[in-house]
Structures are given as C-alpha cells and as structure tokens.
Structure 1
Amino acid sequence: MAAVTVSGSALAGSDDIQWISQCMMDNKNEGKTTEVVRKYCECMNEKMDDNETQSITQWEKTHAKEAKECDAKAGWK
C-alpha cells in the first residue's frame, strides 16, 4: 500500500505519508477500493493541522463534519 500512497501523494511530506498509510491500513476492511480509501485518507490528512498528534482514525471520531466532507470527496458510499 505504501507505493500507492507515495505515488498518490507526491507533494506530501514523510509524516503525511505515514499518517495516510496508517489510515489506509485502519480502513482496509471497510469494503471500499484502495483508491476510495486513499482519497478519503488524503482528504482527512489535508484537513488536519500539521501539528496534530492524533492519527487520522482517532481524529475523525471527533470531527464528523470533516469526515462527511471527505466521504463525499472520495466517493465513499
């Protein structure tokens, strides 16, 4: 999965790539394509502050508005 994330996140820093990769692993059993999960995780990562210490999976639990926006952007249905 890391190769997919790296190619899809060419402008992301190494911390971003790690967060997105972890998010993708956390969501791999949700029944969505890798592309949809990657788009969702990238979107959530973009919405988070650069100094955030929570994982995307932790952060999304307290940021329902952002999660809903990223669901729509990624095509998560």
Structure 2
Amino acid sequence: MKLTTALALACFGLVLASAPASAQNADDAKWIKRCVDDNKDEKQTPAVIAAYCSCMTALMDSNETQSVSQWEKTHKAEENKCGKQSGWVGK
C-alpha cells in the first residue's frame, strides 16, 4: 500500500471518529472512501482530502446516487464551502 493511500485512510478514520455518531454510517464511509480515492492525485494533504470528502458527503442527500466527484460538478456552492472549510488550496 502506498504511503499516501495509507495516510489518507488514516486521516479518513480520524474524520469519521471525530464526526457525531448520528452523522456517520457505512454508506457515508463508502462514499467518503471513494471520494478520497478519486482525489488522491489532487496535490492536497490526505487530511485535507478526507475533510473535504467528509464535508461534501454530509451535505449530500442520503438518497443521492452520484459520487461526490460527480455531484460537486453541479453543486459549486457546496464545493466552495467544503473546499474552504477543509483548507483545500485552489477550490
């Protein structure tokens, strides 16, 4: 396993552990992991990517079928909010 992937997964675990229990579930974890994987080459720290993905997942409807990467293309306000909140440089 590459070091960056391991760091991203570790940060992802920290994000989930710090989130309120009612706000997280297995489906959210699946979407956050996919988002982290989709953004691994975006030149951001694993912690920033995990925070961004967690924020975006929290804003999405629980019945959403699009991935975060698809959803963010049509939800710029949410993308900007989560980019700023997570410390994403360039979003």
TM-score, length-scaled by structure 1: 0.91
2:71 counterpart residue number: 59
Two-structure CA RMSD over aligned residues (Å):
1.2
1:24 counterpart residue number: 36
Deviation at 1:53, TM superposition (A): 0.7
Cα shift readout 1:11-49 (whole Å, capped 9, x = no counterpart): 310000000000000000000000000000000001100
The CA distance in 2 between the partners of 1:41 and 1:50, in whole Å, is 15
Count of equivalent residues? 77
Structure 1: tracts of 5 or more residues without a match: none
The 5 A counterparts of 1:1-77 are 1-10=8-17, 11=21, 12-77=24-89
Question: 1:42 is matched by which residue type in structure 2?
Answer: S
Deviation at 1:6, TM superposition (A): 3.2
Rg larger in structure: 2
Identity %: 44
The CA distance in 2 between the partners of 1:22 and 1:76, in whole Å, is 18
Structure having the larger proportion of residues in helix: 2
Structure 2: tracts of 5 or more residues without a match: 1-7
